Amino acid sequence: MPQHELWEALQRVQHEIMHLRAVLLAIGIKLNQLPAYLPSTSDLRQLKAIVFAALPQLEDEAFAAGFNLAFRWLCTMDRTDGPNQKHLISFWLATCKDWMLQQGLFGDVREGHLLAAAAAHGDVPFVLPDKARGIVALLGLKIGAGKPYGGVWRTVLAHGRVPMPVAMS
């Protein structure tokens, strides 16, 4: 790419960043409240492809928006070392939807979106439901006092694989 095209592209990106900062401040979000490392749209597309290759049962046709919202919400949550059996996934789904309302975000987030986003994060233990065996979906999350978000999704992206679901008996 010629240098003048790179310069023009850089100027467009800088202008967009300034605009986004102004929007965030206008809606009351201070820049230091945002997670340090969020994936780009391209990164999210790649993460979804990696998740679906490993866990095709989670894919659905209207997946992008729900997955992206679930992924963003998980950036705000603390992690545990294993699945949190005190809360069913319906609790986490309700918590996610409450967060979305507080942030002024709208969309359809379902169980599969949360499970796929957990897999894409790489550090959120998850259990896939199995009705035949009486196993419910679980996530390794905790409200406060857990391990904070650390951008482990970058490792998932770099290696092209997600952690496998936790096996429950």
**Is pLDDT at 31 greater than 60 in this prediction?**
no
User: What is the CB neighbour count within 10 angstroms for residue 10?
Assistant: 10
DSSP bridge partners of 147: 79
Query: Model confidence at 2, in pLDDT bands (50, 70, 90)?
Result: confident
The answer to whether 161 and 122 are in contact (CB under 8 A) is: no
pLDDT-above-90 percentage for the chain: 54
Which residue has better confidence, 134 or 4? Answer: 134
CA distance 67 to 54: 16
pLDDT score at 7: 73
Q: Pick the closest to residue 65 from 36, 44, 46 (CA basis).
A: 44
pLDDT score at 28: 57
**Is pLDDT at 154 greater than 70 in this prediction?**
yes
pLDDT-above-70 percentage for the chain: 85
Domain locations in the chain?
1-34, 36-159
**Is pLDDT at 18 greater than 80 in this prediction?**
no
